[in-house]
Structure 1
Amino acid sequence: MKYDYIFAGAGLASLMILDKMIDARLLDSKKVLLLDTNDKNDNDRTWCFWEEESGDLDDLVSKKWEKALFTNEKQTIDCLPDCSNYKMIESIRFYNYVLNKLKKYPEIIWKKEKFISFEDKKKEVIVKTNTENYTTSILFNSIFDASKIENNKKYPLLKQHFIGWFVKTTNPIFDANCATFMDFSIPQKGNTRFMYVLPFSETEALVEYTLFSPNLLQEGEYEEAISSYLKEKGATSFEIIKKEQGNIPMTVFPFWKSNSKNVLHIGTAGGWTKASTGYTFKNTIKQSERVVLLLKNLTIDFNKFHKPNRFSFYDKLFVGVLYKNNELGKKIFSNMFLKVKSKKILRFLDEKSNLKEELEIILACPKIPFIKALLNLL
């Protein structure tokens, strides 16, 4: 059977595109196939993002914070400008929201089959699963092949890797209205290491030990660091409610070169994760809106989807510096947040800043490592 659209993987990127397509009435009378072996009935991750005032997805937000701190052993600042909030969406709420909308479209089929490969035949795409072959006019592929970037010499690969504990302490040690973006007061051990804290009450929080570095740690090292951090913050005892862990690639590898007229790589597989931060959610919204605009055209060509900009160059510099000098992360972020107004930094990370703001941020960073990285790129 031939489909108008096939989505390989039913994660954030695929469901976000489908949600935007529904709103744009692009799925009426269309045959769509979703391929994913997971039912998406678990809360398997959380997405966080900063946003000014209200947003389109506020009904899905399970918690928001009016303050978000950057801290090291010498100084602490609030990173959120006035009228901004740091918001959290639990994945299960987003999955249910989109999947309930999809129920109104009987032509959308979900098959719990494993995506194996695809073959682009120019006029159609052949998609192979573990049980069957399908044809489609357009393939959206979100299946990430880590081998493409693990062994690539040209594009350095940093990893944002972490283990997080959802904890409940016996005594109050958290401020429920204040998240912590980065706490660099912990030992760096030659890397870029920080704590990320999302409090839900005075005694409940998600505490993540996070690194931006080329190599992973042994599991025990992450957990020992979290335990020590909680004790230093005054926790007399605590219970671990749930654990989570992640490994997000931070790379400027040109995933977009694998796109074709009829095939678009999306999500992490399409380079939609911002290389310098690992943040994906807001960029997925932006890229999904661009997909819908392209689908409205009479002639669709995903070769033209990628739009390079100067922020890709900044990301390349940042990843190159931290890859070679991983111990500089604390200094880089401290200089940025303590010397530049946080509103400008958040605009920069959202790729909405102007050249004057960007120059101010660049000049706040350690100059020699960035000059060397620039010369290497040139």
Structure 2
Amino acid sequence: MQHYHYIFTGSGLSALMTVYEMMLSGKFNDKTMLLIDENPKKSNDRTWCFWDQNHLFEDIVSKKWPQATFSNEKFTRVLELTPYEYKKIDGLAFYEMVFKMISEHKNIHFLNQKVVDFTELGDHCVVKTAVGNFTCNKVFNSIYNPKEVTSQSKYPLIHQHFIGWFIKSKEAVFTPNCATFMDFSVELKNNTRFMYVLPTSTTEALLEYTLFSKNLLSKEEYEAEIQNYITRLGITEYEIIEKESGNIPMTSFPFWKNNSKNIVQIGSAGGWTKASTGYTFKNAVKKSKALVQFLKTESDFVKFHKKDKFWFYDLLLLDILNSKNHLGPTIFSSMFKAGSSEVVFKFLDEETSLWEDLQVIWRCPKMPFIRALLNRILP
């Protein structure tokens, strides 16, 4: 069996981001690496959006928005995002950037196959594929196993699920420099439901009907709501250029407990998705940097974890969304209705001080969080 220092089971965002950081560090040029994925990463299968003030991956950002609106049935607020900008990166652009760098490193290889299994055997690991087996010192696993979360009830699982249409309309109804972050003026149906809009011109935009809830909908229901929203915007004629859909797990499940000395869970499989929002890109950047820094001095992946206050904040919100999903619009509206939006984005990026945390928390309705807290700390 061929041996590698590191094998990545899966080559999605988290794996490629970690390899990218390893290449940038220059500390792993003497280590052989193998990425294994049945998806060749040659199509634009997803987009990532994030708020940023540090020119992150500026060369492959396809669109920026200096403003965003937040709406519900009672108010609409235009958020001036300065010093942040809301940015979009297309999946294919990121894949091409990383794989171009990989092609310049003879120690890094890609295998377009499905991972069948992997296991730790003493001081090494074995990874099995349909075409053969490989051994390695360390495994970075990003293959998410939903049964692990759905088979328990201590940590709720909320889905961020959506269908999106990228349309070109006859009427010029969009504001190209202003994204719609959350529009809760849609019919809520006792759920946390909103419309998310990313305009690229006055006549072109991506419209996503999105829910944070336990149960998925039929394709027809998502698309009917998108059609209703298009009509509300005053659009009479339009062409659907592309469609996309997704289902992102939102949970505070302790994935780190699956880490062993030589196997580390990354990406959604490692809890790298921001549990309260479903955002992945910025978290993957931070976690991959931390993991690469860890590798420079440590060898036992059991030590790679740090549970912090933000994990607990997210847990309380998910407890509320799990038991009283209809409260989601009220909670998010209270955060964005007034006051600094900068501190909210900083809070969601997990970069706030305790004083700044309190500024955001104090805006939210108190009783749902108090009940959620008591349910967690009392037997």
Q: Fold-level match, TM-score > 0.5?
A: yes
More displaced 10-residue stretch of structure 1: 277-286 or 349-358: 349-358
Amino acid at match of 2:316: L
Supply the AA of the counterpart residue of 2:206: L
**SS of match in other structure, 1:100:** helix
Q: Contact between 2:84 and 2:342, CA under 8 Å: does it hold in 1?
A: no
Q: Does 1:108 align with 2:111?
A: no
Match of residue 266 from structure 2: 266
Partner of 1:15: 16
In the other structure, the counterpart of 1:311 is: 310
Q: Could you tell me whether the CA contact under 8 Å between 1:344 and 1:353 is conserved in 2?
A: yes
The one-letter amino acid of 2:248's match is I
Secondary structure, aligned partner of 2:145: coil
2:162 matched to which residue of 1?
162
- Structure 1 position 332, deviation (Å): 0.6
Q: Is the 8 A contact 2:68 2:81 kept in 1?
A: no
In 1, the alpha carbon distance for the partners of 2:273 and 2:84 equals 22
Select between 201-210 and 64-73 the one with higher mean Cα deviation: 64-73
Say if 1:340 and 1:360, in contact at 8 Å, map to a contact too.
no
- Give CA deviations for 1:227-277 in whole Å, capped at 9, x if unaligned: 010110110111111100000111000111001111111000000001100
* Letter in structure 2 aligned against 1:38: N
Structure 2 unaligned segments of length 5 or more: list them: none
Q: In the alignment, does 2:346 pair up with 1:350?
A: no
Amino acid across the alignment from 1:198: L
Structure 1 residue 62 displacement after superposition = 0.6
Alignment of 1:128-143 (within 5 A): 128-143=128-143
Deviates more, 1:187-196 or 1:351-360: 351-360
- Rounded to whole Å, the distance in 1 between the matches of 2:221 and 2:265 is 35
Q: Larger deviation: 236-245 or 100-109?
A: 100-109
SS state of the match for residue 64, structure 2? strand
Quick check: 1:83 aligned with 2:83?
Answer: yes
Q: Secondary structure at the match of 1:185?
A: coil
The unaligned stretches of length 5 or more in structure 1 are none
Partners of 1:66 and 1:56 lie apart in 2 by: 15
Distance in 2 of aligned mates of 1:26 and 1:236: 57
**Paired residue type of 1:304:** K
Corresponding position of 1:40: 41
Partners in 2 of 1:311 and 1:225 — Cα distance?
33
Asked if structure 1 preserves the Cα contact closer than 8 Å seen for 2:82 and 2:342, the reply is: no
Equivalent residue, structure 2, for 1:125: 125
Mapped contact 1:191–1:329 kept (Cα < 8 A) = yes
For residues 1-378 of structure 1, the aligned pairs below 5 Å read 1-52=2-53, 54-297=54-297, 299-378=298-377
CA distance in 2 between partners of 1:306 and 1:270 (Å): 10
Flag the 1:272–1:80 CA change in 2: closer, same or farther, 3 A: farther
- CA offsets, 1:44-95, max 9 Å, x none? 000011112x514100101101111111122222334323210100010000
Residue type at the aligned position of 2:172: P
Structure 2 counterpart of 1:165, which letter? Answer: W
Q: Distance in 2 between matches of 1:340 and 1:157?
A: 31
The answer to whether the 8 Å contact 1:122/1:261 transfers is no
2: CA distance, partners of 1:197 / 1:122: 50
SS at match of 2:131: coil
SS in 1 for 2:337: helix
- State the shift of 1:333 in Å: 0.8
Deviation string 1:168-221 (CA, Å, 9 cap, x unpaired) is: 101111001100110011110000000000001011100000000000011111
- Aligned partner of 2:173: which letter? I
- Distance (Å, rounded) in 1 between the aligned partners of 2:289 and 2:250: 23
CA RMSD of aligned residues (A): 1.1
Partner of 1:18, secondary structure, is helix
Q: Which SS does the other structure have where 1:135 is aligned?
A: strand
Q: Distance in 1 between matches of 2:157 and 2:33?
A: 35
Aligned residues of 2:250 and 2:273 also touching (Cα < 8 A): yes
What SS class does the counterpart of residue 296 from structure 1 fall into?
helix
CA distance in 2, matches of 1:134, 1:340: 55
